[in-house]
Copies of this chain bind each other. A is one copy, B any other.
Amino acid sequence: MIRFYNGKLMSMDCGTHISSDEVWVDGGKIAYVGPPKEYDGQFEREIDLNGNLVMPGFKNAHTHSPMTFLRSYADDVPLDKWLFEKIFPMEAKLDANCVYEFTKLAILEYLTSGITASFDMYYEPEAYAQANIEMGFRTVLCGAVNDFKESVPRLEAYYNKFNNYHPLISYKLGFHAEYTTNLENLKAIAELSQSLKAGVYTHNSETRSEVEGCIERYGKTPTELFDSIGMFEYGGGGFHNVYMTKKDLEIFRDKNVYAVTNPGSNSKLASGIAPIDKMIEMGINVAIGTDGPASNNALDMFREMYLVTVLQKLANNDAAACPAEEVLEMAAFTGAKAMGLDDCDCIAVGKQADLIVIDLNRPNMQPINNITKNIVYSGSKENVKMTMIAGKILYENGEFFVGEKANDIYARVNALTEEIKNRK
């Protein structure tokens, strides 16, 4: 039993309310939340929070972790050149070992940012899952079917395999995007979704040209197309959702499709600003993802939270748009829901102990006028004092506890990145 005491708690079981409750963790789960009380056993560790805040970890609801090797590899170039001349040729050279090593680097970065779970679309799922399991990180794999890689039968096999694989691993149906997946495949995925009664996730309306292309091909927006073939009968989610019509938004709302927003990536690639304020107003559930490190380039939920709100303020010419409380809930609570991690959404007895300690004793968190606003508008990775997943402390006071040294991972990633650059 680990005890957190003498601090503040934002349990998120009812918004961003803060109490002075203690939190006890046992066997990977939350064992007690409430005022101090007697314990007749021996605590494994008693953590004096010294006034700091315990809250649920952030959920990175859209990413491509193995792309860490492309961080800072192709910045400040036009989108087409970035993708076709820089990113795709390098990605084509990856093998399972690369995916394993580059994922490990991403996980280190997630931990520094208080991220306790990722929703990850990539290939080589066994190698990817292995990296997560070894380091103790929680992840939801997302299917990545398209016309060039993977297939619908394999999607079903993965779904069955990785949903019965390891407590830290789960799997959601998914495909890359409309523009990389033909109608026959899309229909087969929709059918699979209905037979499994499982939601489907995909890149959706990220760029204007993507939407225009889809309208040209089908006379429908991507969202309309997916809906028309029964893709969203069991919900699911869209990543990006920058160019959304009113009808698209109504489909998301009516079919309970999660909108995962990626403001860092959408800004850096000049894609645009998603209509988050409109989504909130319509009651659409919004989660936040960093997208991959080739397009962001950081895997930092603090930056994403800040961007979510200030880009809405800019786009709507309204300093009151998209308040901090909404954004913090997206990052910690709704992200869990979007990923099917219903037992990681808040801090309550029986839930998974996926939590973070926010250091309030830093200049950027002072004075304590409003902790939620402090986190969203001033917070940074310097404020992540601890990251705990399934009751295990994986990061504390800048140090990693993931089974090996961070410097060893850096060395292997650098060597492998250089090697790939020279691979034919």
Give the CA-CA distance A323 to B302 in the complex, in Å. Answer: 23
Give the CA-CA distance A273 to B374 in the complex, in Å. Answer: 24
A270 within 8 Å of B by Cβ?
Answer: yes
Q: Is the CB of A108 within 8 A of B267?
A: no
Give the CA-CA distance A371 to B297 in the complex, in Å. Answer: 12
Q: Is the CB of A269 within 8 A of B366?
A: no
Task: Decide yes or no: A320 and B264 within 8 Å by CB, A270-B313, A363-B112, A370-B73 being known contacts.
Answer: no
Q: Is the CB of A367 within 8 A of B71?
A: yes
Task: Decide yes or no: A82 and B361 within 8 Å by CB, A368-B414, A417-B367 being known contacts.
Answer: no
Across the interface, name the chain B residue whose C-beta is closest to A406: B363
Residue among A72, A79, A298, A310 with max Cβ neighbours from chain B (10 Å) = A72
Give the CA-CA distance A25 to B264 in the complex, in Å. Answer: 39
A195 within 8 Å of B by Cβ?
Answer: no
Q: Is the CB of A319 within 8 A of B367?
A: no
A300 within 8 Å of B by Cβ?
Answer: yes
CB within 8 Å of B: which A367-395 residues: 367-371, 373-374, 377-382
A316 within 8 Å of B by Cβ?
Answer: yes
Distance in Å: Cβ of A84 to nearest Cβ of chain B: 13
CB within 8 Å of B: which A23-81 residues: 68-73, 75-79
CB within 8 Å of B: which A309-325 residues: 309-311, 313-314, 316-324
A179 within 8 Å of B by Cβ?
Answer: no
Q: Is the CB of A68 within 8 A of B382?
A: no
Kindly supply a per-residue 1/0 record for chain A positions 129-166, scoring 1 wherever the CB is within 8 Å of any chain B CB and 0 otherwise: 00000000000000000000000000000000000000
Q: Is the CB of B373 within 8 A of A269?
A: no
Task: Decide yes or no: A75 and B370 within 8 Å by CB, A314-B270, A362-B112, A407-B361 being known contacts.
Answer: yes
Q: Is the CB of B71 within 8 A of A369?
A: yes
A296 within 8 Å of B by Cβ?
Answer: yes
Residues of A within 8 A of B (CB): 68-73, 75-79, 82, 105-106, 108-109, 112, 264, 267-270, 272-273, 293, 296-300, 302-303, 306, 309-311, 313-314, 316-324, 361-364, 366-371, 373-374, 377-382, 398, 406-407, 410, 413-414, 417
Contacts of A105 in B (CB 8 A): 363, 366-367
Give the CA-CA distance A77 to B377 in the complex, in Å. Answer: 14
Query: Can you list 14 A-B pairs with a CB-CB distance of less than 8 A?
Result: A71-B378, A72-B373, A72-B377, A75-B373, A76-B309, A108-B363, A268-B309, A269-B319, A300-B364, A361-B407, A363-B406, A368-B414, A380-B382, A382-B382
Residue among A68, A106, A321, A370 with max Cβ neighbours from chain B (10 Å) = A370
- Report which of B68, B270, B323 forms a contact with A76, defined as CB distance below 8 A: B323
Distance in Å: Cβ of A415 to nearest Cβ of chain B: 9
Contacts of A302 in B (CB 8 A): 380
Across the interface, name the chain B residue whose C-beta is closest to A76: B323
Q: Is the CB of A268 within 8 A of B378?
A: no
Give the CA-CA distance A184 to B143 in the complex, in Å. Answer: 68
